[in-house]
Amino acid sequence: MLDVRLSDRAFDPAREIAGFVSRVPDAGGVVTFLGQVRADHGVLALEIRHYAPMTLPGFQALGDTAVARWQLDGMLIVHRVGEMAPGDPIVLVAGASRHRRDAFAATDFVMDHLKGESWLWKRERTAEGWRWIEPRGQDHADRARWG
């Protein structure tokens, strides 16, 4: 079971996780990662833009790769686009498997690819105005470790 979504509206992480867990009743382990807008360095807003014809198919292919690589009962990827405020959820990735290791690995794999090889453009607003955010060298290194 693979559930991949983009949303231009806020989502409730607890509700998403509860729904996901209910759809994978045989899983022995469910691992979740929630990314949210940081409130540090004077960030007032984060905006994520995307190119629709590529984004959702790219996310779907990434989820398909994770499901093929690990023994999963399910995988959930929910990602926001548009403008968000500090504390707002950006991304939720959850992996469910019979045993925890596959769920941990698949969730980590998806996040490393979303951070280092994404179909998204990010910018943040501070008191000085908007600035584009590029992936860091560490993001690329994290992605590369998967081969």
- Alpha-carbon gap, residue 71 to 125, rounded angstroms: 41
Share of the chain above pLDDT 70, in %: 97
Domain span including residue 14: 2-142
Q: Is residue 51 part of a domain?
A: yes
Specify the number of domains making up the chain. Answer: 1
* CATH label of the domain that carries residue 109: 3.90.1170.40
pLDDT of residue 30: 98
Cβ contact 146:110 at 8 Å:
no
Q: Rounded to 5 degrees, what are φ and ψ at 117?
A: -150, 70
Q: Is the confidence at residue 145, as pLDDT, over 90?
A: no
User: What would the pLDDT profile of 50-79 be if each residue is shown by its tens digit?
Assistant: 988 899 999 999 999 999 999 999 999 999
CA 82-83-89 angle, 5° bins: 90
pLDDT of residue 92: 98
Within 1-73, strands assigned E span 2-7, 29-36, 45-50
